[in-house]
A and B are shown apart, each in its own frame.
Chain A
Amino acid sequence: GAVVSQHPSWVICKSGTSVKIECRSLDFQATTMFWYRQFPKQSLMLMATSNEGSKATYEQGVEKDKFLINHASLTLSTLTVTSAHPEDSSFYICSADPGQGTDTQYFGPGTRLTVL
């Protein structure tokens, strides 16, 4: 149980285009999902907290107008990278909190974004 999927697993796009990444909790509901970014050989950095039915909370330094987050249901959150640039190339990972009163998050397999 507690499986989180991401789609696509990898994407290559041209500079200036927008890319949408989906994060789904497959066998549980998650009122809270998290989006992380990981650059090569670095750790995970939290970008934003996605709450079902409300606006996302962004970490300091993360542009909310560039990284649009929508958490439309208890099993789906999406991250849209708008007007992507090469410096946005990274590994994007989501996680979902089943809300069991613990600090447990279940992580997706990640999405590799390459912006040309």
Chain B
Amino acid sequence: TQLLEQSPQFLSIQEGENLTVYCNSSSVFSSLQWYRQEPGEGPVLLVTVVTGGEVKKLKRLTFQFGDARKDSSLHITAAQPGDTGLYLCAGAEGNEKLTFGTGTRLTIIP
């Protein structure tokens, strides 16, 4: 079983600050996805990165896939209360299955 470790596990910052969440593994993935999950709801896909070194931007969110396709990062600029949630990375193993990371619970304080 491939493991995806996310750090930090918990993060609480003031509105307007920047933050970075990391997703690390010793295994190579065919692609990596980032999700945000609200309490009591299913995860919602934010982005999929496929190519090593790829960078994707979604408004204030910047996602990067490591060159070796083993790790990824999510950077949020000028965080807002609406960014609060559980952020999950998930690696695709090329067989349709996803392995989810350990999760980062983000709280943005107004």
Q: Are B103 and A46 in contact (CB under 8 A)?
A: no
Q: Distance in Å from the Cβ of B109 to the closest Cβ of chain A?
A: 19
Tally of contact residues, B, Cβ under 8 A? 24
Residues of B within 8 A of A112 (CB): 40
Asked if A17 CB lies within 8 Å of chain B CBs, one says: no
Tally of contact residues, A, Cβ under 8 A? 27
Chain A interface secondary structure, helix, strand, loop or mixed?
strand
Asked if B22 CB lies within 8 Å of chain A CBs, one says: no
Q: Distance in Å from the Cβ of A36 to the closest Cβ of chain B?
A: 8
User: Which A-chain residue is minimally distant from B89 (CB atoms)?
Assistant: A43
Bound complex: CA A43 to CA B92 (Å): 16
| B contact residues vs A (CB 8 Å cutoff) | 1, 30-31, 33, 35, 40-45, 48, 88, 92, 94, 96-103, 105
| A contact residues vs B (CB 8 Å cutoff) | 4, 6, 32, 34, 36, 41-46, 49, 60, 91, 93, 95, 97, 102-110, 112
